[in-house]
Amino acid sequence: MKALEDTVFAIVGLGLIGGSYAKALMNRKARRIIGMDKNHIVSLMAKDEGYITDIADNQPEILKEADMIICAMYPGAFVPFVRDHVQYFRDDVVLTDVMGIKGDTPDRIDELLGPRMDFVPAHPMAGREGKGYGQSTSRIFEGANFIIIKRPHNRPDHVAWLKSIALQIGCGRVVELTAREHDGIIAYTSDLPHIMAVSLMNSDSMQKNTKYFIAGSFRDATRVADINASLWTDLFLFNKEPVLAEIDKLEAQLEKWKKALRENDRETLGAMMDAAKKKRRDMFYGKN
Q: Which range marks the domain in which residue 213 is found?
A: 182-285
User: Are 149 and 177 a contacting pair, CB within 8 Å?
Assistant: yes
| Number of structural domains the chain divides into | 2
Residue where a domain terminates, one of 177, 197, 227: 177
* Co-location of 91 and 33 in the same domain: yes
User: Are 29 and 5 a contacting pair, CB within 8 Å?
Assistant: yes
Residue where a domain terminates, one of 144, 177, 210: 177
Tens of pLDDT, residue by residue over 209-235, are: 999 999 899 999 999 999 889 889 999
Residue where a domain terminates, one of 157, 177, 197: 177
* Co-location of 160 and 223 in the same domain: no
Partners of 175 in the beta sheet?
Answer: 147
Tens of pLDDT, residue by residue over 8-45, are: 999 999 999 999 999 999 999 999 999 999 999 999 99
CA distances for 64 relative to 87, 89, 177, 181, 237, angstroms: 9, 5, 30, 33, 33
**Beta carbons within 8 Å of 202's beta carbon, 6+ residues apart:** none
CA distances for 190 relative to 71, 98, 234, 261, angstroms: 21, 14, 14, 28
Enter the pTM of the model. 0.86
